[in-house]
Every structure is written in structure tokens, then in C-alpha cells.
Amino acid sequence: MSNKNQSMLLRDAEIEPTGKVLENALGKEIFDVYQELIRTITEEFGLTYEWRFYKDGKAWLCKVVNKKKTIFWLSIWDRYIKTSFFFTEKTRPGVFDLDINNKIKSNFEQAEFTGKLIALILDFDKKEQLKDLQEIVKYKKALK
């Protein structure tokens, strides 16, 4: 899904992204996807997450971690959820071996490095798309 013209939500530092705030921002259907994502990362992968307001980006971001290692970042946009995984030159090739949608792979192949990292971005609004996220989380979590 290409959402280049969509806008990022949760820009007010005073309004914490509680369940109700997230449901209002995303709408019932996509909020259900968000809840399924949170259930999956906490119950199946044992990850923890924390919402924080970041002044530099002027928005609330959710950092998903395994112990101290960041697995991915999550942000809320107009009608979809965005996750960003970061890989190094060394860990990048493993992504192409994953059982994920080829469109994700081709977008990742064309992604530019920012410093030493390259971002793998997933935008989604359906539960079926969580399968790809799970594969990437499994890979990222296993990395040393």
C-alpha cells in the first residue's frame, strides 16, 4: 500500500495514546489490527512495547523491544499502521530469505542506507498482513 500523501497522527504531547485514543485515530477495523499486533508481539514473541512522545519528530511513537534490543518502531497514520525495522549491511541479506511478500522485499531492496542502517517499512491495515510482520520479527529477534 502506498500512502505517501497520508498524514501521521498522534501529534499532541498532552494526549497519551490510550486504547480509546488509538481506536478513535484508527477507526474500529484498523484498531482491531493494532490490538492483534500487540497481542502477537507480547504473547507469541514475549516482546514489550512503550509509547513515548518524541520531541524531534513531534509525535508519539511506540518502541517494541526484546530485553534491551529494539525490534521495531510503530507509528499511527491516517487509516493505517506503520512499522519500521532497521537492519545493517550484515543483517540485510537475511531479509530476502524470509517467507514474506515479494513487494516488501523489492521495496527493501531499493531502500537507501541512513548512516549504517537501512529501514524496512511496513504499512498495513489488515490482519492478513501481520504474517509478514511476524516473519520479520522472528528474524530480527534471532539476530545477535
Residue 132: pLDDT over 60: yes
pTM greater than 0.95: no
As beta bridge partners, residue 116 has none
- Does domain 19-142 fall under CATH 1.10.20? My reply is no
Sheet strand arrangement including 48-54:
48-54, 59-66, 69-77, 80-87, 117-124, 113-114
Mean pLDDT, rounded, for 43-71:
96
Q: Work out the pLDDT band at 23, boundaries 50, 70, 90.
A: very high
Residue spans of the domains in the chain: they are: 19-142
72-107: pLDDT as tens digits: 999 999 999 999 999 999 999 999 999 999 999 999
Report the pLDDT value the prediction gives residue 105, as an integer from 0 to 100.
Answer: 97
What is the β-pairing status of strands 48-54 and 59-66?
antiparallel
Least confident of 4-8, 75-79, 84-88, 126-130: 4-8
